[in-house]
């Protein structure tokens, strides 16, 4: 029984590792790349504009959290990379450019999700040549779609320090912006509480379903 459970965990790690690491790594690289294009080279100078996952590993978000969720057989897997440093004062137009920089991360995840959807379509058409290993690749690709959509939608929740909160901070009046600034140190605790208690998923799940269904429809899957 223990060997079976361990085997399942190892199989999941093998299938999930590549899409998971690319999802969280390219999310952060997208932030840094956008900032670099808009005048802030902080991430570039620190060597963070690389797809090498080692440069982006966060001990808690990249290793500990996913490991705990896998061991607990959680119905979902979540994690994050070390945030890319951004200095808004270096941006050419800080108010406008911070919106672009913040939105770049989720946008990268949606692009990756679409890439995995295309891979799923190709596998559906030509996967017979893979034989029994096709199931492994289906598991990898499906996780790539779901996790990237989850990461993109989750980060668009308008609570700082999530990307959606940073976008909201730039478009609201200064008085409300000040309130968001005071909320930010506790933002992640608020988000976790909303996730554990359930309200957050009531919003995220329908949005994820809509985006995922739309992507699969575009590549030829009819739901």
**139: which 2 tokens?**
């598991």
Sign of the dihedral defined by the CA atoms of residues 149, 154, 157, 160, in that order = negative
**Residue found by looking up tokens 């096709």 in the block:** 134
Catalytic residues: 28
- Spatial separation of the C-alpha atoms in residues 41 and 22, rounded to whole Å: 22
Q: Which of 50, 149, 30 minimizes the C-alpha distance to 101?
A: 30
Residue 38 phi/psi, 5° resolution? -105, 10
**Residue found by looking up tokens 């790539």 in the block:** 144
- Spatial separation of the C-alpha atoms in residues 213 and 50, rounded to whole Å: 31
- Spatial separation of the C-alpha atoms in residues 91 and 203, rounded to whole Å: 33
Separation in Å, CA 155 to CA 9, 22, 36, 59, 165: 27, 16, 21, 20, 8
- The answer to whether the beta carbons of residues 67 and 5 sit under 8 Å apart is no
Compute the chain's Rg from CA coordinates.
Answer: 19
Task: Work out the end-to-end distance of the chain between its first and last CA atoms, rounded to an integer number of angstroms.
Answer: 36
């Amino acid at each position: 029984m223990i060997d079976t459970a361990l085997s399942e965990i190892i199989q999941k790690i093998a299938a999930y590792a590549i899409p998971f690491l690319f999802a969280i790594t390219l999310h952060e690289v997208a932030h840094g790349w956008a900032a670099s294009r808009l005048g802030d080279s902080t991430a570039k100078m620190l060597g963070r504009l690389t797809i090498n996952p080692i440069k982006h590993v966060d001990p808690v978000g990249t290793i500990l959290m996913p490991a705990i969720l896998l061991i607990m057989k959680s119905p979902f897997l979540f994690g994050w990379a070390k945030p890319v440093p951004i200095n808004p004062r270096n941006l050419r137009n800080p108010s406008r450019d911070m919106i672009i920089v913040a939105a770049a991360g989720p946008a990268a995840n949606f692009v990756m999700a679409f890439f995995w959807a295309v891979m799923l379509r190709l596998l559906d058409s030509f996967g017979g040549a893979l034989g029994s290993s096709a199931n492994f690749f289906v598991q990898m690709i499906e996780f790539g779609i779901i996790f990237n959509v989850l990461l993109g939608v989750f980060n668009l929740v308008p609570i700082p320090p999530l990307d959606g909160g940073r976008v909201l901070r730039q478009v609201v009046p200064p008085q409300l912006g000040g309130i968001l600034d005071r909320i930010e140190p506790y933002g992640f605790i608020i988000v976790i509480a909303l996730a554990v208690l359930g309200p957050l998923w009531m919003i995220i799940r329908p949005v994820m379903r809509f985006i995922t269904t739309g992507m699969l429809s575009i590549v030829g899957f009819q739901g």
